[in-house]
Amino acid sequence: MSNHRSRHERVALVTGSTSGIGLAIAQALILDGWMVALHGLGTAQEIDSVLMQVASQVGSSNMPRHFHADLRSPEQARGLVSEVESKLGRVDLLVNNAGIQHTSRVEDFPTSKWDEIMAINLSAVFHACAAALPGMKRRNFGRIVNIASIHGLVASAEKAAYVSAKHGVVGLTKTIALENARSNITCNAICPGWVRTPLVEAQVLHRMSAMGLDHEAAERTLLAEKEPSQRFTTTEHIASAVAFLISEAGSNITGTSLAMDGAWTAQ
């Protein structure tokens, strides 16, 4: 990164980093010397076990601090950024990663699920960015990476809320990039295809029971339907893409959506 601060003075907030993609991003940032604000839902015991897992991966120096906020609430989404700023001094990198999924046809889609997905997957991204941008502008430095999805670029059946929210994230990413193009603030989205995480595991389990398949066969059919490479993107690959976007080489990359989809959208 082209800036005068050493990395350990830089603060990154990664939402939804107690699991899956967010956890891998947080771990990679810690190993790279960032001070990381870990965030995600869970009981005290669950959070402790994540912190222990992080310590075993990255060592006990430069341990992250965990922050709690339920991103269904706009106040908590904005409050999360303020709390990190007040406890850790700043937010230089904001990774909006928290997200949930629900599958159902439009006519059967529960209103409560629609509202929840729009709140967590889209509105919280807006609120966190709105809260973080003033500090980034004051310091003339900021990096925002939104973990959207390939469903920010194309649709799939039975994912109305998720697809709508992720298309919204891609649009919001472009708007923030344009509004800040003359400052040293970039905003980009990453659009993964399938990644093995608890969010996808639920869909694999659904397939196993709906189609009478074993776990491996269910994963194979999931990939076969959409992803020509027939391979999952790993959480570590996504962490590396974040590292690239926030590096000096990425300093003039802004407003873009990086597909990591095994040619899903090339078809």
Instruction: Supply the residues annotated as catalytic.
Output: 162
CA distances from 14 to 63, 111, 157, 171 (A): 14, 28, 29, 20
Report if residue 212 touches ligand NAD, rule: CB under 6 A.
no
Stretch that binds ligand NAD, among 133-141, 179-187, 195-203, 217-225 (CB under 6 A): 195-203
| Number of amino acids touching ligand NAD (CB under 6 A) | 25
Report if residue 18 touches ligand NAD, rule: CB under 6 A.
yes
Strand 65-67, strand 93-96: pairing: unpaired
Closer residue to ligand NAD (CB): 62 or 156: 156
Closer residue to ligand NAD (CB): 20 or 64: 20
Structure tokens at 83: 């709390």
Report if residue 34 touches ligand NAD, rule: CB under 6 A.
no
Report if residue 188 touches ligand NAD, rule: CB under 6 A.
no
Stretch that binds ligand NAD, among 19-27, 172-180, 223-231, 239-247 (CB under 6 A): 19-27
- 66 within 8 A of 38, measured Cβ to Cβ: yes
Per-residue interface string for the shown chain with ligand NAD, residues 216-255, x marking contact by CB under 6 A: ----------------------------------------
Closer residue to ligand NAD (CB): 7 or 199: 199
Report if residue 72 touches ligand NAD, rule: CB under 6 A.
yes
Q: Which of 54, 98, 132, 242 binds ligand NAD (CB under 6 A)?
A: 98
Report if residue 40 touches ligand NAD, rule: CB under 6 A.
yes
Three-state DSSP at 225 gives helix
Structure tokens at 258: 């990086």
Closer residue to ligand NAD (CB): 110 or 138: 110
Q: Which residues contact 147 (CB under 8 A, 6 or more apart)?
A: 21, 22, 25, 95, 96, 97, 99, 189, 190, 192, 238
How far apart are CB 38 and ligand NAD at their closest, in Å? 9
Report if residue 168 touches ligand NAD, rule: CB under 6 A.
no
Chain-centre distance of CA 62, in angstroms? 22
Report if residue 64 touches ligand NAD, rule: CB under 6 A.
no
Structure tokens at 107: 């006519």
Measured CA to CA, the distance from residue 113 to residue 202 in angstroms comes to 16
**What is the strand order of the sheet 35-39 is part of?**
65-67, 35-39, 11-14, 93-96, 142-147, 185-192, 257-260
Measured CA to CA, the distance from residue 191 to residue 257 in angstroms comes to 6
Measured CA to CA, the distance from residue 256 to residue 245 in angstroms comes to 10
Stretch that binds ligand NAD, among 1-9, 16-24, 204-212, 213-221 (CB under 6 A): 16-24
Q: Which of 188, 197, 254, 256 binds ligand NAD (CB under 6 A)?
A: 197
Structure tokens at 116: 């929840």
Residues lying near ligand NAD in the complex (CB under 6 A): 16, 18-22, 40-41, 70-72, 97-100, 120, 147, 149, 192, 194-195, 197-200
